[in-house]
Amino acid sequence: MKFWDASAIVPLCLTEPQSAAVKAILVKDTSLAVWWATRTECVSALLRQTREGGLSLDDEKKARQVLAALARVWLEVRPTEMLRLAAERILAVHPLRAADAFQLAAALQWCQRETQDVSFVSFDVRLRVAAYKEGFDVLPSAGS
């Protein structure tokens, strides 16, 4: 099982330049762990693309159906006070936005801070750097 950021989930739902890379990761391991707000972040990204004209209403509907299917099977890390405190610590250590700090805090909680040989899937540059510094194996690799 790998921890997936919303930036890596959206290309599973649509055909984007990053889609092949994340689909290859998913084929090797179909178990996903995500932060509690990931589904909402993905819906926001899909609706933004639709509003901006980059995604048709039909394609947005299909993408949301894929997202719903993924959400039915993924493991979701729920919000807790301990997770909020971890996100606040992360904000003091890494140059992240609050939503990304929650993503990383959720990943750390999910693996019980044992990051060795644990993968974090993301395309967000700052989040990838922070996850790497916390000890995660960050995917897709830079060459993918």
Tens digit of each residue's pLDDT, the chain (144 residues):
999 999 999 999 999 999 999 999 999 999 999 999 999 999 999 999 999 999 999 999 999 999 999 999 999 999 999 999 999 999 999 999 999 999 999 999 999 999 999 999 999 999 999 999 999 999 998 755
* Distance (Å, whole) CA 98 – CA 101: 5
Taken in order of first residue, the domains within the chain and their CATH numbers are 2-139 (3.40.50.1010)
Spatial separation of the C-alpha atoms in residues 24 and 115, rounded to whole Å: 22
CB 26 within 8 A of CB 67: no
- Report which residue type is found at 25: I
Q: What DSSP state is assigned to residue 36?
A: T
The predicted pLDDT at position 142 comes to 72
For residue 35 the two structure tokens come to 């932060």
Query: What pLDDT, on a 0 to 100 scale, did the predictor assign at position 143?
Result: 59
Rounded Cα distance, 53 and 134, in Å: 37
The confidence score (pLDDT) of residue 51 equals 96
Q: What pTM, to 2 d.p., does this model score? A: 0.94
* Signed CA dihedral, 139, 128, 38, 80: sign only: positive
3-class DSSP state for residue 48?
helix
Phi, psi of 111 (to 5 degrees): -95, 10
The pLDDT assigned to 144 comes to 54
Residue 54: its pLDDT value, please?
A: 93
Q: What does DSSP say about strands 75-77 and 32-35: parallel, antiparallel, or unpaired?
A: parallel
